[in-house]
Amino acid sequence: MALDWKIGGVLLGLVFFAAVLLVKPIGVSTQFVILDGIVADVASPDFITQTEDGFTSTNAYMAKSDGKYAKSAANPLNYSFVFVLAMMIGAAASSYLRGGFAAASRLPDVWVANYGNTPLKRYMVAFVGGFIALYGARLAGGCTSGHMMSGMMQTSISGYLFTAATFAAAVPTAMIMYKRG
C-alpha cells in the first residue's frame, strides 16, 4: 500500500532537497547512455579514448560537451551512475520490507484488466515503451526525474515545457490504451 500523499510527498521532497543541498539535482536518463557507452567500449575498445585533457568518443553524442559522457562511461564509479545503481538497492529493500515481491511477480493489474494474462504481449509493449521513452528523454535532455521533478523544483523553463509536452501525450495515450482498471 502506497504512503499517504502528504507523508510520501514531504519525504520525497526531502530527498530532492538532500540531493541539491549536498550534491546536485536528481537525474536518471543520462545513465542509459553511460551504460550503452560502457558496453560499446567493451565491445569495441576504440569507442572511448583518452585525450590529453580528458576523454572523447567516436560517437558524436558521447563526445559532446568536451567528452563528459565519454568520461563518465570510462569511469563508471562516478556519482550519477552509482546513484542509479543505489536507486535499485533502495527500491529492492523497500519492496522487500513491505512484502512487495509477490505482487511484482505478476503482470500489472491494469494490464490484465485490459489485455488479460498475456505476458509476451506485455513484455513487447514494455520494450517498445522503453525504446520510445528513452529516445525521447535523450532528445529532451532529461526525463521525469531531471526535467519534471528537479526542473520544476528549480523553476526551470525547460522543466515546464517538458512536463506540458509529456502530459499532453501521456494522458490521451493512456486513456486510449487502458480503458479499464
Partner 1 sequence: MQILLALLIGAGFGAMLDRIGATNPSVLTGMLTLRRLNLAKTIMMAIGTGSILMFGGQMLGLVDVAHMSVKSAYVGVLIGGLMLGVGWAISGFCPGTGVCAAATGRKDAVFFISGGLLGAAAYMVTYPAWKASGLLEDILGGKVTLGDVPGSKFDGLFAVPGDILGILIGVIFILVAYVLPHSLSGLDKGAEVPAE
Positions in 43-82 near partner 1 (CB under 8 A): 59-62, 64, 77-80, 82
Choose, by CB under 8 A, the member of 33, 48, 70, 73 that binds partner 1.
Answer: 33
Choose, by CB under 8 A, the member of 3, 44, 75, 117 that binds partner 1.
Answer: 3
Shortest distance, position 93 Cβ to partner 1, whole Å: 6
Nearest to 154 by CA among 30, 82, 162: 162
Q: What angle do CA 129, 135, 137 make, to 5 degrees?
A: 95
Choose, by CB under 8 A, the member of 15, 44, 51, 66 that binds partner 1.
Answer: 15
Of the pair 42, 157, the CB lying nearest partner 1 is at: 157
Q: Does 116 bind partner 1 (CB under 8 A)?
A: no
Q: In the 8-state DSSP scheme, what is residue 121?
A: H
β-partners of residue 50 are: 55
* # of chain residues touching partner 1 (CB under 8 A): 124
Shortest distance, position 50 Cβ to partner 1, whole Å: 20
Binders of partner 1 in range 150-169 (CB under 8 A): 150-159, 161-169
Shortest distance, position 52 Cβ to partner 1, whole Å: 24
Shortest distance, position 51 Cβ to partner 1, whole Å: 19
Q: Does 117 bind partner 1 (CB under 8 A)?
A: no
Give the H or E element holding residue 157: helix 157-177
Q: How far is CA 102 from the centre of its chain?
A: 24
Distance CA(70)–CA(64), nearest Å, equals: 9
Of the pair 52, 172, the CB lying nearest partner 1 is at: 172
Burial track 97-126 (b if 16+ CB lie within 10 A, e otherwise): eeeeeeeeeeeeeebbeeeeeeeeebeeee
Could you list the beta-strand ranges (E) of 19-129. Answer: 48-51, 54-57
Choose, by CB under 8 A, the member of 8, 44, 51, 54 that binds partner 1.
Answer: 8
